[in-house]
Amino acid sequence: MTTPSEPGDSRLDPGLNAIMSERRQLINLAYRLLGSLADAEDVVQETYARWYAMSRQRQEAIESPGAWLTKVASRICLDLLGSARARRERYVGEWIPEPLPDRTEWISGRPDGATADPADRITLDESVNMAFLVVLESMTPAERVAFILHDVFRYPFAEVAEIVGRTPVACRQLASSARRRVRESQPPATPAARRAGIVRDFKEAWEAKDIEALIGLLAPDATGIGDGGGLVSAVLRPVEGDEQIARALVDIADKAPGLAILERTVNGQPGLVAQQDGVTVVVMAFDIAGDRIKHIWAVRNPEKLRPWTAS
């Protein structure tokens, strides 16, 4: 008589490697759908819990375990997105998607190059930059799921329809609507090297408390948004206008002597991290149009900074 194997013991369960190999894909999918690494981890755990709650016979009857896991994870995300509006209304201040560091910046230094941080499973590309994730937040749950599954993960609309509970034609229309939102929100791309240079100039101007230099780097209609989640102090409303943002940044520098500002990759794009006494207290992502910064997203909520502070 055999007993069910434990997760991670592939010697007892030859099919376990195939099942667990889907974990990276599921984390990538759930993060893009939810904008939260913590929620993505919970979704994947729940997905695997449902898999292991089934009998071995039911598992073996599933022709494509990977497709089954994706369908379950997507439906869980869809349910969470449906209740997200109410949760956002209770959130203190502005809600910004959880920022992710570059993979090489969160490796813990273990000799085998491994890390226990699930963020290691996120593949960074254009579909996780902060501007893209913010646009996703403006979509309906069905739009977001249909768009991400089809345009990012290349699932055919017939499979998307099973997950979303709409017809393939309806899912095509949902993805088209979402695609149009993304296209309309994105300015012409600024070359990566130029983006990095602008962020570096911004960092130096901030350190120097040079208001005029900061204004010169910001678009006249620039917007700065902070996310403290009610756990730390943060401006609850967006700051609009180049001069207003510049003065707010200098005020922050005046009130936080010793603040160390570091250049880091944030969601695959040049960004900044501010540390106080070696502790990350804010992660900043930027949206750059031409040679000016159009949006700044500053995440201060410590619950969203776990990948940046884990040792």
pLDDT value, residue 171: 98
Q: Note the pTM of the prediction, 2 decimals.
A: 0.85
Q: What integer pLDDT is reported at residue 286 of this predicted model?
A: 97
Task: For the chain, give the mean pLDDT.
Answer: 86
Nearest to 297, CA basis, from 133, 140, 141: 133
Write out the two tokens for 311.
């040792």
Lowest mean pLDDT among 67-81, 111-125, 179-193, 235-249: 111-125
Check whether 103 has a pLDDT greater than 80: no
CB 302 within 8 A of CB 232: yes
- What is the model's pLDDT at position 188? 79
- Is 80 exceeded by the pLDDT of residue 27? yes
Query: How do residues 188-236 score in pLDDT, each as one tens digit?
Result: 788 989 999 999 999 999 999 999 999 999 999 999 999 998 888 777 7
| Residue 122 pLDDT greater than 70, yes or no | no
CA distances to 213, 220, 224, 255 from 242, rounded to whole Å, are 11, 5, 9, 20
3-state secondary structure of 291: coil
Asked if residue 264 lies in contact with residue 101, where contact means CB atoms within 8 angstroms, the answer is yes
With H, G, I as helix, E, B as strand and everything else as coil, classify residue 193.
helix
- For residue 106, pLDDT over 60 is answered with no
DSSP letters of 250-274? HHHHHHSTT-EEEEEEETTEEEEEE
Residue-wise pLDDT tens digits, 225-270: 999 988 887 777 899 999 999 999 999 999 888 899 999 999 999 9
